[in-house]
Amino acid sequence: MAIETPYLRYTPAVETPDADEAETSRSLNETMRSISETTLAHGGHAIRSVHAKAHGALRAELEVAPGLSPELAQGLFAQAGRYPVVMRFSTIPGDILDDSVSTPRGVAIKIVGVEGERLEGSEGDATQDFVLVNGPAFSAPGPKQFLATLKLLAKTTDRAEGLKKVASAALRGVQSAVVAATGSPSPALATLGGQPETHILGDSFYSQVPLRFGDHIAKIALVPVSPDLTALTDKPLDDTSAPNAIREAVLEHFRRHGGTWELRAQLCLNLDDMPVEDASVVWSEAASPYRTIATLTAAPQTSWSEARAAFVDDGLSFSPWHGLAAHRPLGGIMRMRKSAYEMGKRFRAETNGRRIEEPRNLDSLPE
């Protein structure tokens, strides 16, 4: 007999694609390709069209918590276990900017050694990726609105960095006023350069858009919990004038300290209050709190070196479509990511002459 829960059960019917979504996807791919071609022309090396600048790459371990309640013991998290992980911290622009142009931060997590029924395009692999950003909701409700924003950003790729620095400083001031008035930051302002200049290791990160969570639907969060990380939450960067201030802060921390995060899931109750297709809606944590499903621990290490950066930036790709069928990405933004990320991976591999493959282990990750 099935156990009754308040959580919405997953069915394919929770997704309602627009009739012209294929055309939106084509245009989005073209725009992202144009960003990559611009940075290639200027830099001579193919980089990601979003989240191009990495600030650290960590070797870590994920431990799935034992004894999870049935609604949380789903997919990868159905059984207790330990998995090697590589983490890549980044900021969202597709061009490599000084960190004084302050934009939202991301962390991509690749969990290795994951077995089970795979998503289409991920057959034969043994990884599960989660792609997270330091805000609970996406900056646009759907693919068309995101495409409009991306086209504007594409026009400024690798241009007028000095003006971007001035604009970012002004937008941070506006963002402070918004937070004072409303209690929460504006994702749109953060995307344009209004991200506070704080330590990235103190941030919490969110999937922003939902995914299948076995029998249910969830958003995922990564939250710092060890004292050495929580002490960095909202802590200003020591030297905001340094072009690689975030990278240097991560490097300095992990020279001497480790860190522990909790991976948490927020289960969907209903589609009216917690929509799948509107990625800009923050799901109420009062109604459905984020609940711990695993811990992620990184020991002290060298978080940045040329060899490690080359391995992670040029040799790996991160996509929510690398994973189990039980964690199928949901909603228009996630559907757009499938072909866009595949296109970006091919472009980087072909241009740089380097194979990009899903790892079976992390033995080759440089120390």
Q: List all residues 6 or more positions away from 359 whose beta carbon is below 8 Å from its beta carbon.
A: 86, 110, 112, 127, 316
- Residue 1: per-residue pLDDT: 40
In a domain, 274, yes or no: yes
In a domain, 2, yes or no: no
Per-residue buried b or exposed e for 6-18, using 16+ beta carbons within 10 Å of the residue's own CB: ebbebeeebbeee
Query: Which of 59-63, 173-177, 235-239, 278-282 shows the lowest per-residue confidence on average (mean pLDDT)?
Result: 173-177
| Residue 348's CATH number | 2.40.180.10
- Residue 24: per-residue pLDDT: 97
Structural domain range at position 85: 12-352
Query: Which of 129-143, 146-160, 211-225, 240-254 shows the lowest per-residue confidence on average (mean pLDDT)?
Result: 146-160
Which residue, among 296, 82, 303, has the nearest Cα to 204 in the 3D structure? 296
In a domain, 261, yes or no: yes
Instruction: Please give the Cα distance from 279 to 237 (Å, whole number).
Output: 30
What is the rounded average pLDDT of the residues 146-171?
A: 71
- Residue 93: per-residue pLDDT: 82
In angstroms, how far is the first alpha carbon of the chain from the final one? 50
Q: Is 306 left (phi over 0), alpha (psi -120 to 50) or beta?
A: alpha
**What total of structural domains would you count in the chain?**
1
Q: Residue 271: helix, strand or coil by DSSP?
A: coil
- Residue 176: per-residue pLDDT: 67
- Determine contact, residues 329/337, Cβ cutoff 8 Å: yes
pLDDT tens for each residue of 84-124: 999 999 998 888 888 877 788 999 999 999 999 999 999 99
- Residue 164: per-residue pLDDT: 60
pLDDT tens for each residue of 208-236: 999 999 999 999 999 999 999 999 999 99
- HSE-CB of 26 using CA atoms within 13 angstroms: 4
In a domain, 367, yes or no: no
pLDDT tens for each residue of 261-279: 999 999 999 999 999 999 9
Per-residue buried b or exposed e for 170-179, using 16+ beta carbons within 10 Å of the residue's own CB: ebbeebeebe
Other beta carbons less than 10 A from residue 23's beta carbon: 11
In a domain, 357, yes or no: no
Q: Is 216 left (phi over 0), alpha (psi -120 to 50) or beta?
A: beta
In a domain, 117, yes or no: yes
Q: List all residues 6 or more positions away from 226 whose beta carbon is below 8 Å from its beta carbon.
A: 258, 259, 260, 261
Instruction: Please give the Cα distance from 234 to 252 (Å, whole number).
Output: 17
Instruction: Please give the Cα distance from 218 to 264 (Å, whole number).
Output: 10
Instruction: Please give the Cα distance from 352 to 350 (Å, whole number).
Output: 6
What is the rounded average pLDDT of the residues 129-151?
A: 94
Which residue, among 225, 175, 185, has the nearest Cα to 202 in the 3D structure? 225
In a domain, 358, yes or no: no
Instruction: Say if residue 337's pLDDT is above 80.
Output: yes
In a domain, 5, yes or no: no
Q: What is the mean pLDDT of the chain?
A: 91
